[in-house]
Amino acid sequence: MSEAAPKDRLDKWLWQARFFKTRSLAARLVGDGAVRVNGEKVSKTATQVSAGDVLTFAQGRQIRVIRIEGLAKRRGPAPEAQTLYTDLTPEAEPVAPRVGPRPTKKDRRDMEAWRDGE
């Protein structure tokens, strides 16, 4: 009989890979149904994941796409945690820098008046 691939809980793996500061934050995100495993939305924190699974979730304002490369025995330092995954997140389009100073209150009122057709 062949051995099954080792598996770990989704919330625990997200915490060990240092995507979230606490395990309860990771569990809350998974429980809210905001994580996809291999394209399927999951809402159970105890969902089992293994190497090769692809996770999609929001982290701050960014949507992260991660492929699991390995499982951890502990929550180690950041360099160790970075070996657990490959980041597949597409590069965001660069935002054009602001040209000139910020508008003043008077400038903003003038822009709104012009926009409203006054």
Domain boundaries along the sequence of the chain: 8-91
pLDDT for 16-54, tens place per residue?
999 999 999 999 999 999 999 999 999 999 999 999 999
pTM reported for the whole predicted model: 0.75
Residue 3 confidence (pLDDT): 66
- Strand segments, DSSP code E, in the chain are 8-9, 35-37, 40-42, 48-49, 54-59, 62-68, 85-87
Which fold does the domain 8-91 belong to in CATH? 3.10.290
